[in-house]
């Protein structure tokens, strides 16, 4: 289970993502995700403590699944990138959280 004080993101990073990715969710969506059921692993391509997570959000009878890159610093979860999970990530999440 992930414990943090709040969720933040760099405004310039959010604006760049929203300008270049039309289908991806907005960064504020990270505030509505169920972080108690997240599949996480370190991002070994970077040495700044980045984590990769597959996290979901229940909307009525529908489950949206996201892929989030973040760094946890000063008790805050700092979102670097957020997108909808691809088919393999959705399958992996479904195996752990049916």
Residue from 72, 81, 71, 73 nearest 30 by CA? 81
The domain ranges of the chain are: 6-96
Q: Is the pLDDT of residue 55 over 90?
A: yes
Quick one: average pLDDT of 32-57? Answer: 93
- Residue 33 above 70 pLDDT? yes
Question: What's the average model confidence in pLDDT over 46-53?
Answer: 92
Q: Which pTM was predicted? A: 0.87
The mean predicted confidence, pLDDT, of the chain is 90
Does pLDDT of 22 surpass 80?
no
pLDDT band at 90 (very low <50, low <70, confident <90, very high): very high
């Amino acid at each position: 289970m992930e414990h943090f004080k709040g969720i933040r993101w760099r405004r310039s990073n959010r604006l760049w993502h929203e300008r270049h990715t039309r289908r991806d969710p907005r960064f504020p969506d990270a505030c509505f995700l169920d972080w108690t059921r997240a599949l996480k692993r370190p991002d070994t391509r970077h040495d700044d403590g980045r984590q990769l997570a597959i996290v979901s959000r229940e909307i009525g009878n529908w489950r949206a699944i996201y892929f989030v890159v973040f760094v946890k610093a000063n008790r805050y979860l700092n979102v670097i990138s957020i997108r909808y999970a691809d088919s393999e990530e959705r399958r992996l999440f479904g195996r752990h959280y049916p």
